[in-house]
Amino acid sequence: MPVAFASTYQARTVDVSWMFENPSATARPMASVEHPATARPMANAESPSATARRPMARNVDVSWMFENPSSCDEDIAKEAAVTYAKESGIVLEAFECQCCFEEVPEMTGLQMSPGGDCDHALCPECFQRMISGQIEKKEPCICPLCPATRPSLVPSWLVRCVLGDDMAVQLSAVEQIHLGQADGGQLRMWQCPMPDCTNRLAVDTDWEPDRVSDDQRVVKCECCKKRVCVRCNVEEHEGFSCQQFREWRRANDSSEESYAEMMRQGLIKPCPNCNSPILKTEGCNFMTCPTCNDPDRMCWVTGKKRYGPHACGGGHNCH
């Protein structure tokens, strides 16, 4: 609930007369905070002559320094709370559980599919019972209150937070079975392309990533927190259009294919010491790695070191 803060404070002043004194004065009083009820005289260690040169006291009202800064930040606090609720799956307000019809206190209930179109929520007990039952039946975890034509998937990160790692691993195995098309085409799932991210989302059966609009092209994965371009199925390529990114990827893919082909043909070989690629253009078979400059050198014919305990043994025109 919003907390009301007092908006009026007793005036607090600071004597800044010393700021206007002659800098050649031998002593300067320490600034002190005065309060109307507890004002104290300032200690004066100056000579009578210095006192005579002091100008009239000048006080500055610093009451604003003692005001509560949160009194003007309620909107920011509310926005932060909504963001936290979406990221953690917590329901801010109290509500009635749509499964057991019990009252659920604020900051206690769980969203079924945070960040999606589903606005259903359950109490923690019903959530755990519902999800555990679906996993035991080898079914993907979906919101039981959403229509079958538009299912909402319960994210694996939320299952991990509520039910633990073991249940999350079991859910991942179940989702892998249903990945792509499942239940006779009634459920289609999209998986986050980020490495080690197991988050999956339910999408429409006729959903095609190439046809998504510009405002729906980028989604934020609630599990790994990465921004993903669903058209290209990669992390967001900010600053480049999808067409530009695909052209760049094709060019780099062709370069990687050419590199792999040169490795297969033996035109490029790895250094036996640091594994850096070495391309021989001319000369004998006695090679020096430009990366590590290994003193044992390399025999190009065998790919082994020229000297040392595991050397090629010589005889290959490698000195």
Each residue's pLDDT tens digit, 101-121: 999 998 888 988 887 778 889
Token pair 């079975």 in the structure block, residue: 177
Contacts of 52 (CB under 8 A, 6+ apart): none
Say yes or no: 55 and 85 in one domain. Answer: no
- pLDDT at residue 29 is higher than 50: no
Q: Check whether residue 43 and residue 107 sit in a common domain.
A: no
Percent of the chain with pLDDT over 90: 4
Phi then psi dihedrals of residue 224, to 5 deg? -95, -5
**Do 154 and 114 have their domain in common?**
yes
Same-domain status, 101 and 192: yes
Structural domain harbouring 168: 77-202
In a domain, 127, yes or no: yes
In a domain, 113, yes or no: yes
Residues 123, 152: one domain? yes
Specify the DSSP class assigned to residue 44: -
- Residue 303 domain flag: yes
What are the tens digits of pLDDT across the range 252-275? Answer: 776 666 767 777 888 888 888 888
Partners of 142 in beta bridges: 153
In a domain, 85, yes or no: yes
Among 228-232, 260-264, 288-292, where is mean pLDDT lowest? 260-264
Q: Which two tokens stand for residue 193?
A: 């392309």
Residue 1 lies in a domain: no
Residue 20 to residues 34, 41, 42, 54, 290: CA-CA distances in angstroms?
Answer: 19, 19, 17, 8, 69
Output the CA torsion sign for 19, 21, 23, 27: negative
Q: How many domains does the chain have?
A: 3
The model carries a pTM of 0.40
Amino acid at 191: Q
Q: What's the mean pLDDT when you consider all of the chain?
A: 74
For the chain, state the CA radius of gyration: 35
- Tell whether the model's pLDDT for residue 42 goes beyond 50: no
What are the beta bridge partners of residue 180? 189
Contact status, residue 89 vs residue 158, Cβ threshold 8 Å: yes
